[in-house]
Amino acid sequence: MEASATGIVQIGDRGQSVVDLQSALQDSGHSHVNADGIFGPITEEAVRSFQQAQGLSVDGIAGPNTFQALTGRSEVKSVSTETSTSTESSTSGVIGTAQGLIGTPYSWGGTTPAGFDCSGFLNYVFAQNGQSLPRTTQAIYDAGTPVSAPAVGDLVFFQGTYNTSNTATHAGIYIGGNEFIHASSSGVRIDNLSSNYYQTIS
Protein backbone atom coordinates (compact mmCIF):
# COMPACT_ATOMS: atom_id res chain seq x y z
CA MET A 1 0.00 0.00 0.00
CA GLU A 2 1.39 3.38 -0.94
CA ALA A 3 1.67 5.95 1.82
CA SER A 4 2.71 9.56 2.02
CA ALA A 5 3.26 12.15 4.71
CA THR A 6 1.06 14.44 2.64
CA GLY A 7 -1.75 11.89 2.48
CA ILE A 8 -3.23 9.37 0.08
CA VAL A 9 -6.47 9.22 -1.85
CA GLN A 10 -8.48 6.03 -1.59
CA ILE A 11 -11.97 4.59 -1.79
CA GLY A 12 -14.45 6.54 0.34
CA ASP A 13 -12.60 9.85 0.00
CA ARG A 14 -14.26 12.96 -1.39
CA GLY A 15 -13.04 16.38 -2.46
CA GLN A 16 -10.87 18.31 -4.86
CA SER A 17 -7.98 15.85 -4.69
CA VAL A 18 -10.32 13.14 -5.91
CA VAL A 19 -11.45 15.40 -8.76
CA ASP A 20 -7.78 15.98 -9.67
CA LEU A 21 -7.14 12.24 -9.63
CA GLN A 22 -10.21 11.46 -11.73
CA SER A 23 -9.33 14.16 -14.27
CA ALA A 24 -5.82 12.74 -14.58
CA LEU A 25 -7.26 9.26 -15.06
CA GLN A 26 -9.49 10.59 -17.83
CA ASP A 27 -6.45 12.15 -19.50
CA SER A 28 -4.66 8.81 -19.31
CA GLY A 29 -7.43 7.08 -21.27
CA HIS A 30 -9.93 6.12 -18.58
CA SER A 31 -12.75 8.17 -20.09
CA HIS A 32 -15.44 6.22 -18.21
CA VAL A 33 -14.37 7.79 -14.90
CA ASN A 34 -16.52 10.76 -13.88
CA ALA A 35 -14.68 13.67 -12.24
CA ASP A 36 -17.32 14.01 -9.53
CA GLY A 37 -15.03 14.16 -6.49
CA ILE A 38 -16.18 10.82 -5.07
CA PHE A 39 -13.70 7.94 -4.92
CA GLY A 40 -15.92 4.92 -5.52
CA PRO A 41 -15.44 1.47 -7.07
CA ILE A 42 -15.20 2.80 -10.65
CA THR A 43 -12.37 5.16 -9.72
CA GLU A 44 -10.64 2.44 -7.70
CA GLU A 45 -10.74 0.04 -10.65
CA ALA A 46 -9.31 2.73 -12.95
CA VAL A 47 -6.48 3.36 -10.47
CA ARG A 48 -5.72 -0.37 -10.36
CA SER A 49 -5.70 -0.57 -14.15
CA PHE A 50 -3.35 2.42 -14.40
CA GLN A 51 -1.05 1.04 -11.72
CA GLN A 52 -0.83 -2.31 -13.50
CA ALA A 53 -0.07 -0.65 -16.84
CA GLN A 54 2.67 1.45 -15.23
CA GLY A 55 4.27 -1.43 -13.34
CA LEU A 56 3.32 0.07 -9.98
CA SER A 57 2.11 -1.75 -6.90
CA VAL A 58 -1.54 -2.56 -7.69
CA ASP A 59 -3.62 -1.64 -4.64
CA GLY A 60 -6.22 0.81 -5.98
CA ILE A 61 -4.88 3.57 -3.71
CA ALA A 62 -3.52 6.79 -5.18
CA GLY A 63 -0.39 7.53 -3.20
CA PRO A 64 2.65 9.60 -4.21
CA ASN A 65 4.00 7.08 -6.75
CA THR A 66 0.67 6.84 -8.55
CA PHE A 67 0.18 10.62 -8.51
CA GLN A 68 3.72 11.10 -9.77
CA ALA A 69 3.06 8.76 -12.70
CA LEU A 70 -0.29 10.40 -13.46
CA THR A 71 0.45 14.08 -12.98
CA GLY A 72 4.19 14.53 -12.55
CA ARG A 73 3.76 15.54 -8.91
CA SER A 74 3.78 13.43 -5.78
CA GLU A 75 2.01 15.72 -3.33
CA VAL A 76 -1.61 14.97 -2.55
CA LYS A 77 -3.96 17.55 -1.09
CA SER A 78 -5.93 16.52 1.96
CA VAL A 79 -9.45 15.27 1.30
CA SER A 80 -12.56 15.16 3.41
CA THR A 81 -13.75 11.63 4.12
CA GLU A 82 -17.36 10.89 5.00
CA THR A 83 -18.72 7.75 6.60
CA SER A 84 -21.47 7.55 4.00
CA THR A 85 -21.76 4.28 2.11
CA SER A 86 -22.66 6.11 -1.09
CA THR A 87 -20.74 5.14 -4.23
CA GLU A 88 -20.40 6.70 -7.64
CA SER A 89 -23.35 4.65 -8.87
CA SER A 90 -25.64 5.60 -5.97
CA THR A 91 -24.67 9.26 -6.31
CA SER A 92 -25.57 9.23 -9.99
CA GLY A 93 -28.83 7.54 -9.02
CA VAL A 94 -29.63 10.32 -6.55
CA ILE A 95 -28.86 13.00 -9.14
CA GLY A 96 -30.89 11.19 -11.79
CA THR A 97 -33.89 10.82 -9.49
CA ALA A 98 -33.70 14.48 -8.49
CA GLN A 99 -33.44 15.71 -12.07
CA GLY A 100 -36.40 13.56 -13.05
CA LEU A 101 -38.52 15.55 -10.60
CA ILE A 102 -37.74 18.99 -12.07
CA GLY A 103 -40.98 20.92 -12.42
CA THR A 104 -42.72 19.22 -9.49
CA PRO A 105 -44.70 21.92 -7.64
CA TYR A 106 -43.83 23.19 -4.18
CA SER A 107 -46.06 22.11 -1.31
CA TRP A 108 -45.45 22.99 2.34
CA GLY A 109 -44.87 19.70 4.15
CA GLY A 110 -45.00 17.82 0.84
CA THR A 111 -43.15 14.52 0.59
CA THR A 112 -44.41 13.04 -2.71
CA PRO A 113 -44.21 13.88 -6.43
CA ALA A 114 -47.58 15.58 -6.01
CA GLY A 115 -45.64 18.36 -4.26
CA PHE A 116 -42.48 18.79 -2.15
CA ASP A 117 -41.03 21.12 0.40
CA CYS A 118 -37.23 21.19 0.45
CA SER A 119 -36.65 18.50 3.07
CA GLY A 120 -39.49 16.37 1.73
CA PHE A 121 -37.79 16.47 -1.67
CA LEU A 122 -34.48 15.31 -0.17
CA ASN A 123 -36.20 12.56 1.80
CA TYR A 124 -38.00 11.26 -1.28
CA VAL A 125 -34.96 11.37 -3.58
CA PHE A 126 -32.66 9.57 -1.16
CA ALA A 127 -35.34 7.05 -0.16
CA GLN A 128 -35.71 6.11 -3.83
CA ASN A 129 -32.01 5.26 -3.73
CA GLY A 130 -32.08 3.22 -0.54
CA GLN A 131 -30.96 5.92 1.89
CA SER A 132 -32.89 7.33 4.82
CA LEU A 133 -32.66 10.97 5.94
CA PRO A 134 -34.17 12.80 8.92
CA ARG A 135 -37.38 14.64 8.09
CA THR A 136 -36.49 18.28 8.74
CA THR A 137 -33.80 20.42 7.13
CA GLN A 138 -32.11 21.20 10.45
CA ALA A 139 -32.11 17.52 11.46
CA ILE A 140 -30.54 16.56 8.12
CA TYR A 141 -27.90 19.24 8.65
CA ASP A 142 -27.19 18.03 12.20
CA ALA A 143 -26.75 14.46 10.96
CA GLY A 144 -24.27 15.43 8.25
CA THR A 145 -20.52 16.01 8.18
CA PRO A 146 -19.41 19.53 7.16
CA VAL A 147 -16.98 19.73 4.23
CA SER A 148 -14.92 22.67 3.00
CA ALA A 149 -16.34 22.44 -0.52
CA PRO A 150 -19.25 20.36 -1.83
CA ALA A 151 -18.76 17.36 -4.09
CA VAL A 152 -21.43 16.09 -6.46
CA GLY A 153 -24.16 14.49 -4.39
CA ASP A 154 -23.41 16.49 -1.23
CA LEU A 155 -26.16 18.52 0.38
CA VAL A 156 -25.90 22.31 0.59
CA PHE A 157 -27.70 24.25 3.31
CA PHE A 158 -28.86 27.83 3.78
CA GLN A 159 -29.96 30.01 6.67
CA GLY A 160 -32.54 32.79 6.76
CA THR A 161 -34.59 31.79 3.72
CA TYR A 162 -37.82 32.53 5.55
CA ASN A 163 -36.74 33.72 9.00
CA THR A 164 -33.70 35.26 10.66
CA SER A 165 -32.75 32.33 12.86
CA ASN A 166 -29.38 30.61 12.79
CA THR A 167 -30.97 27.28 11.90
CA ALA A 168 -30.75 25.61 8.50
CA THR A 169 -33.94 26.63 6.72
CA HIS A 170 -33.33 25.36 3.20
CA ALA A 171 -31.27 22.67 1.45
CA GLY A 172 -30.57 21.13 -1.93
CA ILE A 173 -28.35 18.60 -3.68
CA TYR A 174 -25.10 19.78 -5.26
CA ILE A 175 -24.85 18.58 -8.87
CA GLY A 176 -21.55 20.18 -9.90
CA GLY A 177 -20.69 23.32 -11.83
CA ASN A 178 -21.65 25.41 -8.79
CA GLU A 179 -25.27 24.33 -9.29
CA PHE A 180 -27.73 22.58 -7.01
CA ILE A 181 -31.18 21.08 -7.39
CA HIS A 182 -33.84 21.78 -4.79
CA ALA A 183 -37.53 22.25 -4.09
CA SER A 184 -37.83 26.02 -4.20
CA SER A 185 -40.98 28.03 -3.59
CA SER A 186 -41.59 27.80 -7.34
CA GLY A 187 -41.06 24.03 -7.49
CA VAL A 188 -38.17 21.65 -8.10
CA ARG A 189 -35.51 23.43 -10.12
CA ILE A 190 -31.78 23.92 -10.60
CA ASP A 191 -30.14 27.11 -9.34
CA ASN A 192 -26.61 28.47 -9.15
CA LEU A 193 -24.90 29.00 -5.81
CA SER A 194 -23.37 32.19 -7.21
CA SER A 195 -26.72 33.92 -7.68
CA ASN A 196 -27.16 37.03 -5.55
CA TYR A 197 -29.97 35.48 -3.53
CA TYR A 198 -28.10 32.36 -2.51
CA GLN A 199 -24.88 34.26 -1.86
CA THR A 200 -26.71 36.33 0.74
CA ILE A 201 -28.16 33.39 2.64
CA SER A 202 -25.57 30.64 2.30
Q: Identify the active-site residue in 106, 182, 184, 188.
A: 182
Cβ proximity of 73 and 62 under 8 Å = no
The three-state (H, E, C) secondary structure of the chain, written as one string: CCCCCCCCECCCEECHHHHHHHHHHHHCCCCCCCCCCECCHHHHHHHHHHHHHHCCCCCCCECHHHHHHHHCCCCCCCCEECCCCCCHHHHHHHHHHHHCCCCCCECCCCEECCEECHHHHHHHHHHCCCCCCCCCHHHHHHHCCCCCCCCCCCEEEEECCCCCCCCEEEEEEEEECCEEEEEECCEEEEEECCCHHHHHHC
182 labelled catalytic: yes
118 labelled catalytic: yes
Q: Identify the active-site residue in 88, 95, 170, 180.
A: 170
Q: Identify the active-site residue in 76, 118, 155, 175.
A: 118
170 labelled catalytic: yes
Residues taking part in catalysis: 118, 170, 182
